[in-house]
Amino acid sequence: MGQVLKNSRLKDRVAIIAGSSSGMGRATALTFAQEGAKVVLAARRLQILNELTSEIATLVEDDQAVLPCQTDIQHPDQVDHLIQQTVDRFGRIDILVYATGTNIPDRRLEILSNQTWEMMVQTNLTGAFYCTKAVLPTMRQQAEGLIIYISSAAVPYPDTSGVAYQATKHGMVGLAHGTFKEEKENGIRTSMIFPGLTDTPLVLKRPVPTPPEVVAQALQPEDVADTCLFIATLPPRAYVPELILMPTGLA
């Protein structure tokens, strides 16, 4: 038997979760599904997407409420295919959560290569642009839509996460706010979430391992998922430009 839906606050809403194979994206997909949303899982690793699809289908007792779509967001044709598959299956797109992001251990300027810089820009920023541009026509036609970008607390609180990481995460802010200014008359809202240290696989890419006692105080992916849910359940009249989410013990 599957788990009863929590509150069905997203009943019949259609949400694409870019980066749903792990971490914050995975947690958001599970949370949204339990709240009644029809979720589209987008990431590169198809086997993991299929496993998550089975988990969600069992959880909500509906194998038609979830759609896996193998997508490399660095390729605009694959992003366009993602949007088309979603519309073909569900007929609309209410929410896009951009939870895709990466970092590398060799992040200091003196060792950062041009190739790594380009990879970081493509993954953290250009992919967000491709997803935004691709989803807008459907949202315009509906005269409503919400795009949530998961950035990093390294934006309001600069740290040693590396210039490529910080530059791309800052760039997402401009993308989000610029999109809202251009599209708000079409009923489209954007929100930025800046999570502090969160216990996700990205922590493993730090040049020096984070002490276990520090990780123990970090946010959990579910905390970020609940923040996405809060924004997604607000009425269209409410707009959250930015939201900083920090772990209490590390603030």
Contact 243, 192 (CB under 8 A): yes
Q: Is the pLDDT of residue 67 over 60?
A: yes
The tens digit of pLDDT for each residue in 224-244 reads: 999 999 999 999 999 999 999
For the segment 166-225, what is each residue's pLDDT rounded down to a tens digit?
999 999 999 999 999 999 999 999 999 999 999 877 676 666 777 888 888 899 999 999
Q: Is residue 60 part of a domain?
A: yes
162 falls within a domain: yes
Give me the domain span that covers residue 239.
14-250
CATH number of the domain encompassing residue 239:
3.40.50.720
The pTM of this model reads 0.93
Is residue 22 within 8 A of residue 52, CB to CB? The reply is no
Asked whether residue 160 is assigned to any structural domain, the reply reads yes
Q: Is residue 243 part of a domain?
A: yes
For 119, other C-beta atoms within 10 Å of its C-beta total 15
What is the mean pLDDT of the segment spanning 9-33?
96
**Overall domain count for the chain:** 1
Query: Does residue 215 form part of some domain?
Result: yes
Which of 129 and 6 is assigned the larger pLDDT? 129
Domain presence at residue 165: yes
* Domain-located, residue 2: no
pLDDT grade, residue 5 (50/70/90)?
low
Percentage above 70 pLDDT, the chain: 95
Query: Is residue 3 domain-resident?
Result: no
pLDDT of 204:
66
